[in-house]
Structure 1
Amino acid sequence: MTDTTEMLAIEQASPEELAEIIRELEQYRERLVNDTLSMAQRAKVMKAQALAALEPSLAEIDANLEALRQRQSTLLARQ
């Protein structure tokens, strides 16, 4: 699916669908952090260094989560 198609699908999503998308993105974020830290430990890389490398991705995920939550809140307020 392209970014444009994904954005269109999100814009047309119901609050319940947005809740599921948010849940999945939160799970992905947690998995990303856990897997990265696990690999860093095996490679004997400092935790702070691994998290610093991951920070741009986490910031993007967090921004997307915030946008999704705002969209969901807006839809729920209209009901």
Structure 2
Amino acid sequence: MSETIEANTSTPTTQEIEEVIKGLEQLKERMINETIEKAKKVKMPKAKVMAKLEEHPELSFIDKTLKDLRSQQPTA
């Protein structure tokens, strides 16, 4: 028995894009806050923590994705 699943290839709505942006922003903020809290516990200097966050591959990916999504939003 084989089933085919049709991919949703329609263009996302502005509301869908905004929801994804909001979710990614929340994820990014949570990741940063959790990292800072853990760094405080091990007494890592804040400058070093911030430098590491700048290089974090997942945060970089989120930033790139946010930039791409924002470019898809209609200008108001």
State which structure, 1 or 2, has the greater radius of gyration over its C-alpha atoms: 2
Aligned-pair distance for 1:10? Answer: 8.9
Per residue, is there more helix in 1 or in 2?
A: 1
Cα separation, 2, equivalents of 1:12 and 1:39: 40
Unpaired segments ≥5 residues, structure 2: 1-6
Give the secondary structure class of the aligned counterpart of 1:70. helix
Q: Which moved more, 1:43-52 or 1:21-30?
A: 43-52
Count of residue pairs the alignment pairs up? 68
Q: What pairs with 1:60-75 in structure 2 (closer than 5 Å)? A: 60-73=61-74
Matched-pair identity in %? 37
1:42 is aligned with what amino acid? Answer: K
Partner of 1:33: 32
Give the secondary structure class of the aligned counterpart of 1:65. helix
Q: What pairs with 1:3-42 in structure 2 (closer than 5 Å)? A: 12-42=11-41
Q: Please, what TM-score do these two structures have when normalized by structure 1? A: 0.71
Q: Please, what TM-score do these two structures have when normalized by structure 2? A: 0.73
Unpaired segments ≥5 residues, structure 1: 1-7
